[in-house]
């Protein structure tokens, strides 16, 4: 999740927007240009611009870490164990909440509205949560947010178990939970870097996703048993109590072992500053755009799976839970595979997003329940591969002082788009059927991946090339990206531009492609090369 600007990106971003207003100096811009020219030399370090000075953090000896290497850190172990318990409760409540609304109303649109209300606050106020995450002590802030989230589950449990629950109660608690999440989400994600440090950050991000998705294996199964045997209220109760685990883990942490970062001072214009920071960096801007598009239109599974379970295959709550379990199993596999990788590649992110859309389209046309269920596994793998690659890549491309605002923007477009996509996809599903609804989500996901892939290639000075003959004769990929040809005048200008010219960038891209940049961040393949 984190680090400074992509030194190998081409074209270079406008550095006048990259730093805080009171530290935007000529010497900083000169340093950025110098590090671009020598990115090969510094490929193993993590450079952050914090307040006009540059801190270089060398990766630890185990930087090429094992799958579970970040669990060696005590504070992160406590965090992970607490999150495992509360995530299980969260998934129980998600399944019970969706099924309760569907039982009360019989409408997929109502399910979509519930999901939309839960994520609407992120769309409206998400950036303010990032500002708070950058300003406040993250551990203390998490103690408050986790306690408040537990209370929402207990309130819904009391209403349901007492027999007084109405659909507007579910809407209200969903909106309240969304308001708390505005602060909790960016704080929790950026707190990971304080627990593990830069050397283990990518591994910890992947394990967080594996943790969440492992709980998804348990939560829906338990929720299915509770719903069919004793009702939804007990799932809400257990979720409320589950937050005692992360609260206990936070209280037991050794604060002296945290890698605390300097908090952003309270100042005017910090929201605009965060937006300018992202806008000036293609390695942040385009992944966030892709995450927003797929989050809005591609991750509406509560709507589609409830509709397929009830209207297409007539399988009931047990069948609905099984679909969620299978998707979670694929997601766990995708997260663990991501934990083994030591780089974040743009092409991996775009490719996973495109395949995710193709698999959704295939599942929408599946004629039988068991084929539809089997396709949930690869959909889970590709969805999580895309999510982890984008998440870790964006965090590893963000300076520590800006990380809260960058991740709040990331989460704002990812989950904040649900208030738009949820009702739209719910209406399409209700009006034209579950198959058309799911198919439209896959088409939009695939189209978004292709468009963003082309935009990233263009930002890196590349163009797509299709060579069928080479693919047949030499076994090379049919589709590749090669450097755009520059006009003669531009080539002469580039030849005299010094060490940061396209000639130097060409040799860098030939060996690195769209790999991790010098600061451990995802870099766009520079101009003058063919992306591998």
| 19 or 239: which leads in pLDDT | 239
Q: At a CB cut-off of 8 Å and minimum separation 6, what does 292 contact? A: 413, 414, 417
Answer yes or no: are the C-beta atoms of 421 and 437 closer than 8 Å: no
Are 488 and 341 in a shared domain?
A: no
Task: Name which of 83, 93, 103, 95 is nearest 236 in CA terms.
Answer: 93
Task: Tell me: do 323 and 472 sit in the same domain.
Answer: no
The answer to whether residue 389 is domain-embedded is yes
510 burial level (CB within 10 Å; 0-12, 13-18, 19+): middle
Residues 481 and 414 in one domain: no
Q: Is residue 49 part of a domain?
A: no
Same structural domain, 488 and 425: no
Tokens for 424? 């739209």
Residues 402 and 472 in one domain: no
User: 379 or 302: which carries more pLDDT confidence?
Assistant: 379
DSSP state of 144: H
The span from the CA of 181 to the CA of 120, in Å, is: 11
How many domains in the chain?
2
Q: Can you give the pTM of this predicted structure? A: 0.63
Give pLDDT tens digits for 115-171.
878 878 887 887 888 888 877 888 899 999 999 999 999 999 999 999 888 999 999
CATH number of the domain within which 442 lies:
1.20.1250.20
In this structure, the answer to whether residues 143 and 76 fall within a common structural domain is yes
> Same domain for 426 and 477?
no
Q: Is residue 140 part of a domain?
A: yes
Q: Let me know if residue 7 belongs to a domain.
A: no
> Do 155 and 199 belong to one domain?
yes
User: Which domain does 482 fall in, by range?
Assistant: 464-512
Is the residue at 48 inside a domain? no
pLDDT band at 399 (very low <50, low <70, confident <90, very high): confident
Q: Using the 3D structure, point to which of 457, 475, 490 is the last residue of a domain.
A: 457
Residue 204 belongs to a domain: yes
Residue 357 and residue 434 in one domain: yes
Give the model's pLDDT for residue 496: 39
Q: What is the pLDDT of residues 198-210, one digit of tens each?
A: 777 778 888 887 8
Question: Tokens at residue 340, please?
Answer: 């083994």
Do residues 187 and 207 both lie within one domain?
Answer: yes
């Amino acid at each position: 999740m984190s680090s400074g600007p992509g030194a190998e990106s081409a074209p270079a971003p406008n550095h006048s927007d990259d730093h805080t207003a009171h530290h935007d100096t000529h010497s900083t811009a000169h340093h950025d240009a110098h590090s671009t020219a020598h990115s090969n030399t510094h490929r193993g370090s993590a450079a952050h611009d914090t307040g006009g000075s540059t801190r270089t953090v060398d990766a630890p000896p185990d930087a090429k870490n094992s799958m579970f290497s970040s669990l060696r850190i005590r504070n992160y172990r406590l965090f992970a164990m607490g999150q495992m318990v509360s995530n299980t409760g969260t998934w129980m409540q998600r399944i019970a909440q969706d099924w309760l609304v569907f039982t009360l109303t019989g409408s997929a649109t109502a399910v979509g509205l519930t999901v939309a209300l839960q994520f609407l606050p992120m769309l409206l106020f998400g950036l303010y949560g990032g500002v708070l995450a950058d300003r406040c002590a993250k551990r203390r802030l998490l103690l408050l947010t986790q306690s408040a989230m537990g209370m929402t589950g207990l309130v819904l449990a009391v209403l349901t178990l007492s027999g007084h629950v109405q659909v507007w109660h579910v809407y209200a608690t969903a909106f309240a939970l969304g308001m708390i999440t505005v602060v909790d989400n960016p704080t929790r994600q950026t707190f990971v870097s304080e627990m593990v440090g830069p050397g283990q950050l990518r591994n910890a991000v992947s394990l967080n996703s594996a943790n969440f998705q492992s709980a998804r294996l348990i939560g829906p199964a338990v929720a299915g048993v509770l719903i069919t045997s004793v009702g939804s209220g007990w799932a809400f109760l257990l979720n409320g109590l589950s937050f005692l685990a992360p609260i206990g883990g936070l209280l037991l942490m050794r604060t002296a072992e945290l890698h605390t970062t300097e908090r952003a001072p309270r100042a005017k214009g910090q929201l605009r500053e965060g937006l300018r920071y992202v806008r000036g960096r293609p390695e942040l801007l385009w992944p966030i755009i892709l995450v927003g598009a797929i989050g809005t239109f591609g991750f509406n599974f509560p709507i589609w799976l409830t509709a397929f379970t009830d209207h297409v295959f007539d399988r009931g709550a047990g069948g609905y839970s099984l679909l969620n379990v299978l998707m979670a199993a694929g997601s766990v596999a995708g997260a663990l595979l991501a934990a083994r990788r030591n780089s974040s590649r743009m092409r991996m992110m775009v490719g996973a997003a495109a395949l995710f859309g193709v698999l959704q389209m295939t599942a929408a046309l599946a004629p039988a329940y068991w084929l539809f269920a089997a396709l949930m596994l690869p959909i889970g793998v590709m969805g999580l591969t895309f999510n982890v690659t984008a998440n870790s890549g964006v965090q590893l491309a963000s300076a520590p002082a800006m990380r809260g605002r960058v991740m709040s923007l990331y989460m704002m477009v990812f989950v904040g788009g649900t208030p738009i996509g949820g009702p739209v996809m719910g209406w399409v599903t209700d009006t034209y059927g579950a198959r058309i609804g799911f198919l439209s989500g896959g088409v939009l996901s695939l189209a978004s991946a292709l468009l963003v892939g082309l935009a990233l290639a263009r930002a890196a000075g590349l163009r797509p090339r299709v060579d069928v003959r080479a693919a047949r004769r030499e076994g090379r990929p049919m589709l590749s990206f090669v450097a755009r040809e520059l006009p003669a005048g531009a080539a002469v200008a580039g030849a005299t531009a010094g060490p940061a010219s396209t000639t130097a960038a060409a040799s860098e891209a030939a060996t690195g492609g769209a790999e991790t940049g010098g600061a451990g961040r995802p870099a766009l393949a520079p101009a003058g090369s063919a992306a591998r």
